[in-house]
Amino acid sequence: MIKAFDFHVPVKLVFGEGRHKEIGPLVKQYGKKAMIVTTGPLFSETGLVQRIQGLLKESDIGSVHFSDVSPNPLNTQVDAGAAVAKKEGVDVFIGLGGGSAIDAAKGMAVSVGHNRPIWDFCIGENVAEITEKTLPVIAVTTTSGTGSEGTQWSVITNPETREKPGIGNEFTFAKVAIVDPELMASMPPKVTASTGFDTFAHAMEAYTSRIATPITDMYCETAIRLVARYLRRVVRDPDDREARNGMAFANTLAGFSIAVAVVTTCHALGHVVGGISGTTHGETLAVMTPHTMRFSMKYNIEKYSRIGMLLRDEYACPGKDSLEDGVREVESLIEDIGLNTSLSALGVKKEELGAIADGVFSYMDFNIDIDPRFPTRQELMGILEKSF
Ligand code: NAD
């Protein structure tokens, strides 16, 4: 019996090698002056930003480049970008990079459209509503990935409160997602590994989420099989085009899935850890995923018992040990892509663990609510201590 469900992902997907060259006419539908948002000058050094600016010019679109965005983008950087955009008369944003650049671009589009600082839309009793005033965003992803090009989510960190919520609704989807594996070829192996693990975590968490749908299930199963086939390969050989393509597609499917089925306890913890300790998103998830799996797996036996099979890209489960088999497959993937570490090695301090557990209940509560097993504070502390 197929249960009732909604599926709403209003993003035009432009997928394939070389497709970033089509950006001019795609942007032209939405504005006359674009702000290209990147994390640091990286892409201006490789000439990509200038190439994009040239392509925009061919379609009579003016552009400014804003590069003052860090990994785990800050609300202050979003506000600074929004101020420049207003001064320059920007009417469309291009997030060019990984999740950080795309999320910052979405944040700026919200801030400029409503003429308010982005934090007003993030946390608090009087949180402002994001409306149709949000300016359009074109997302060009260079990692695989956060899936941000296919989601409504924008993850913003406040360095003062050390909170890192994900915000978004139907108005924060990118109008167009350009997923061009050519742009991912320059990722260093460590970024390939951590962003690739994020893709796996999205697929597994959306698959096992209490609000999973039949469509997201199909996407997630395929995404996990693609990770199994290609992530180790592309970490070993950054020039493996087939593997880059496969991971780019896995990222796309997992991104569409978390737009609908969202993410669960591991991401809830991962956001708060990132907000407090500034850790790399994918690495943080890799440390905690085996522990969150063991915590939740008996509460959705049907789904968790397939994880090992999917991660071997096989079609038969190993039988009664299949739950623990799935965790072992994940641990072996983490080991093989070089992400076998701990929260303490990532710079998290023991005395911060209590604040991390509290942060989950304070602003990531929706995500633990849709996990198959709702954790108590003590149980979250247990997961954090095992990951430490
Ligand atoms: P990132 O965007 O922070 O990039 C990591 C580093 O890699 C940066 O220094 C960046 O400049 C560099 N980089 C990116 N692409 C490159 C390339 N092709 N070649 C060389 N270097 C490259 O990493 P990310 O993991 O893509 O994004 C992480 C952020 O996204 C976090 O803030 C995370 O919380 C957020 N996130 C958002 C969503 C969403 O749906 N919006 C989902 C998951 C995570």
Please tell me the number of Cα atoms within 13 Å of 209 on its side-chain side: 32
Alpha helices in 278-311 (DSSP H): 281-296, 301-304, 307-311
Query: Looking at the DSSP assignment, which residues form a beta bridge with residue 286?
Result: none
Tell me the per-residue pLDDT of 139-154, one tens digit each, with 9 for 90 and over: 999 999 899 999 999 9
- pTM (2 d.p.): 0.97
Quote the distance between the C-alpha of residue 283 and its chain's center.
13
> What is the mean predicted confidence (pLDDT) over 20-31?
98
- The predicted structure's pLDDT at residue 145: 87
Q: Is the CB of 155 under 6 A from ligand 1?
A: yes
Nearest residue (by CA) to ligand 1, atom 27, is 99
Q: Is the CB of 282 under 6 A from ligand 1?
A: yes
Q: How far is the CA of 73 from the centre of ligand 1 (A)?
A: 10
**Cα–Cα nearest to 90, from 73, 78, 108, 75:** 108
Q: From CA 248, how far away is CA 178, in angstroms rounded?
A: 11
Nearest residue (by CA) to ligand 1, atom 43, is 146
Q: Is the CB of 71 under 6 A from ligand 1?
A: yes
Q: How far is the CA of 98 from the centre of ligand 1 (A)?
A: 3
Q: From CA 265, how far away is CA 355, in angstroms rounded?
A: 16
> What is the mean predicted confidence (pLDDT) over 110-119?
98
Nearest residue (by CA) to ligand 1, atom 31, is 72
Pocket test for ligand 1, best of 11, 103, 363 (most atoms within 8 A of CB): 103
Pocket test for ligand 1, best of 17, 141, 155, 192 (most atoms within 8 A of CB): 155
- The predicted structure's pLDDT at residue 317: 76
Whether residue 178 is predicted with pLDDT greater than 80 in this model: the reply is: yes
Nearby residues of 362 by Cβ (< 8 Å), 6 or more positions away: 163
